[in-house]
């Protein structure tokens, strides 16, 4: 195994994965980004991912066509005919949930890490302030990690830097790496495909802007909370 530290990041070009990318660039010798094209509603995110990966000079940026997911998973993010809703579906999940998405993404990212000789896969999923997606939970990530290690007989660690952070703390993390303005202006979180602060109406924009507003008005408190969580994670 190479002594060079390598990581593969699941990179959508959104707030969370862009924040994770800034952090990864500070901690690994090589960071390889992988972006998935599944015919998503906000297809502009692929362009933003390309722009940011080039701007940050990642070691490589692979864009994978996984349009088969679009054929199987019916969601507001895979069908333009389904409007994004603020109301949960009968099963208790938002209609932007794409079943199997992170199962597929982490599997392919793990295979790519194996190919590159990287022992770390980074993903920006979060259980604390998530959108109600079951595949953003810590238990799911641990199960996927175990399955990949066993299935490939390969030492692999899925790292989730945002798992226990709320959105305000995620903004604080970006600020910690002098990346707040880039994340705010150049990332794409909006379900309607608008870069930066977005449409201001969809659930993703709502969560993002509330977190930003809270951080900007309570910087010292939120940064302290972030540092406490980082220390606890390292202990």
Distance of CA 8 to the CA centre of its chain: 12
Q: Roughly what angle, to the nearest 10 degrees, separates helices 203-217 and 167-176?
A: 60
Q: Is 190 annotated as a binding residue?
A: yes
Gyration radius (Cα) of the chain, Å? 17
Question: Count of alpha carbons within 13 Å of 16, Cβ hemisphere only?
Answer: 27
Q: Where are the beta strands (DSSP E) in the chain?
A: 6-10, 30-37, 60-65, 120-122, 157-159
Q: Is 136 annotated as a binding residue?
A: no
Q: Is 14 annotated as a binding residue?
A: yes
Cβ atoms of 58 and 31 within 8 Å: the answer is: yes
DSSP 130-149: --S-GGGSHHHHHHHHHHHH
Q: Is 21 annotated as a binding residue?
A: yes
Q: In Å, what is the CA distance from 122 to each residue of 99, 117, 167?
A: 20, 15, 18
Q: Is 50 annotated as a binding residue?
A: no
Burial of 228 (0-12, 13-18, 19+ CB in 10 A): exposed
Q: Is 11 annotated as a binding residue?
A: yes
Sheet holding 30-37, edge to edge: 60-65, 30-37, 6-10, 120-122, 157-159
Q: Is 18 annotated as a binding residue?
A: yes
Q: Is 205 annotated as a binding residue?
A: yes
Q: Is 13 annotated as a binding residue?
A: yes
Annotated binding site for ATP: 11-21
Annotated binding site for Zn(2+): 190, 199, 202, 205
Annotated binding site: 11-21, 190, 199, 202, 205
């Amino acid at each position: 195994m190479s002594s060079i530290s390598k990581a593969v990041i699941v990179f959508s070009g959104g707030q969370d994965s862009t924040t994770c990318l800034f952090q990864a660039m500070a901690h690994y010798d090589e960071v390889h980004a992988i972006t998935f094209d599944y015919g998503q509603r906000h297809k502009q995110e692929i362009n933003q991912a390309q722009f940011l990966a080039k701007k940050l000079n990642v070691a490589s940026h692979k864009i994978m066509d996984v349009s088969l997911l679009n054929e199987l998973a019916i969601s507001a993010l895979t069908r333009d005919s389904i409007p994004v809703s603020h109301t949960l579906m009968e099963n208790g999940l938002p209609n932007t949930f794409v079943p199997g998405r992170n199962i597929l993404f982490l599997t392919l990212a793990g295979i790519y890490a194996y190919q590159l000789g990287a022992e770390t896969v980074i993903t920006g999923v979060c259980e604390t302030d998530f959108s109600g997606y079951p595949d953003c939970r810590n238990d799911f990530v641990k199960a996927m990690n175990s399955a990949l290690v066993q299935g490939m007989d390969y030492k692999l660690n899925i790292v989730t830097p945002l798992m226990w952070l709320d959105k305000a703390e995620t903004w604080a993390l970006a600020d910690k790496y002098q990346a707040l303005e880039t994340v705010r202006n150049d990332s794409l979180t909006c379900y309607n495909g608008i870069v930066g602060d977005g449409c201001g109406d969809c659930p993703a924009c709502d969560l993002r802007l509330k977190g930003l507003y809270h951080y900007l008005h309570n910087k010292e408190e939120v940064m302290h909370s972030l540092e406490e969580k980082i220390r606890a994670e390292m202990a």
